[in-house]
Amino acid sequence: MADAALPQSKTCTKCHTDKVLEAFCRTKDGRHGRHSICRQCRSDAAKAYRASDPVKRSAQLLAKLAKARARDKANRRREWHCGLLAECPVVTCSRCRIELPANPAWFRVDGARKTRLSAWCRCCEREIYYRNRDARRLDGALRYIAQREADPDKVRETRRRSKANYPERTRAINRRSREKHLESYRLRQRIVVENRRAAMLASGGKITANLVEKMMLKQAGQCQYCKCDLVNYHIDHVIPLARGGSNKPDNLVLACPTCNRKKGAKMLSELPASFFAVG
């Protein structure tokens, strides 16, 4: 009786055409259990939408596909974890002999093993890693030195290519190295400047880091002129380069910035007695 009371046709609200009920899709919310728009009009509207902006439609489809793949991957991983816990809920570490839950939170994933988990727990692996870290670094440094001595051109080319391919990383490494070895970096800068000046004037001699350390020990860490403690120092020429001096060890002393600026390009005989420390 209920089927006989249903109408046999329905008017589409889009094309305003009377059509049989089978021309409308089923729905729970529509009148008489059918959509208000017929199948043909819905199909035409979908085709027009796809043709209006194909790029946007393709991006939407790709996004939906990526989301579906991520959901499937998460489901597979969840199923694997559940199956692993059901088959092997507890695993014994072969090093510390402690029974731990058989999941990636306690054991590293290793596809070569039957349980797909490593034989050692993460705590044991971390302990061995930090215990042997210095030995690994030393071994790497020795191998690098041997390779540099055997084929220096290849090492130089590898470093040049690495700097060209990763400039941001190279700048970050150099910045960290300067911050860690700030005093050594400043000393190298002073040495480069003084050697460049001497080379331009053809005065001879060369300053090295070892020479600066020897001068620091000889002067007991004090300024040559005012005898103050050298926290920051300059490399001073007893006979200035501008007046025929050189970079030879007997013409070099360490002075504080104040004394070096006061002395300038003067000879020692031209300085007042108050310039030198008494006693």
Residue at token pair 């002073």: 190
Mean pLDDT of 89-105: 84
- Cα–Cα distance between 40 and 24 in angstroms, integer? 9
Q: pTM of this prediction?
A: 0.42
**With 70 as the cut, is the pLDDT of residue 278 above it?**
no
Residue 180 CA to its chain's centroid (Å): 18
Q: For position 5, what pLDDT does the model report?
A: 67
State pLDDT tens for residues 192-247.
888 888 888 888 888 888 888 889 899 998 988 888 888 888 888 888 888 888 88
**Cβ atoms of 243 and 270 closer than 8 Å:** no
The DSSP annotation for the chain comes to -HHHHS-SEEE-TTT--EEEGGGEEE-SSSGGGEEEEEHHHHHHHHHHHHHH-HHHHHHHHHHHHHHHHHHHHHHHHHHHHHHHHHH-SEEE-TTT--EEESSTTTEEE-TTSTTSEEEEEHHHHHHHHHHSHHHHHHHHHHHHHHHHHH-HHHHHHHHHHHHHH-HHHHHHHHHHHHHHTHHHHHHHHHHHHHHHHHHHHT------HHHHHHHHHHTTTB-TTT--B-SS-EEEESS-GGGT--SSGGGEEEE-HHHHHHHTT--GGGS-GGGSPP-
- CA R_g for the chain: 41
* Confidence bin at 161 (pLDDT 50/70/90): very high
Lowest mean pLDDT among 65-79, 204-218, 239-253, 256-270: 65-79
Burial of 194 (0-12, 13-18, 19+ CB in 10 A): buried
**Cβ atoms of 246 and 259 closer than 8 Å:** no
Q: How far apart are the first and last CA of the chain?
A: 127
Residue at token pair 């729970």: 28
- In Å, the largest CA–CA distance within the chain is 130
**With 50 as the cut, is the pLDDT of residue 1 above it?**
no
Lowest mean pLDDT among 38-42, 53-57, 111-115, 131-135: 53-57
Mean pLDDT of the chain: 84
**With 50 as the cut, is the pLDDT of residue 279 above it?**
no
**Cβ atoms of 235 and 207 closer than 8 Å:** yes
- Cα–Cα distance between 145 and 103 in angstroms, integer? 42
Give strand pairing partners of 20.
Answer: 9
* Confidence bin at 157 (pLDDT 50/70/90): very high
Q: For position 115, what pLDDT does the model report?
A: 79
Give the rounded percent of residues in the chain with a pLDDT score beyond 70.
92
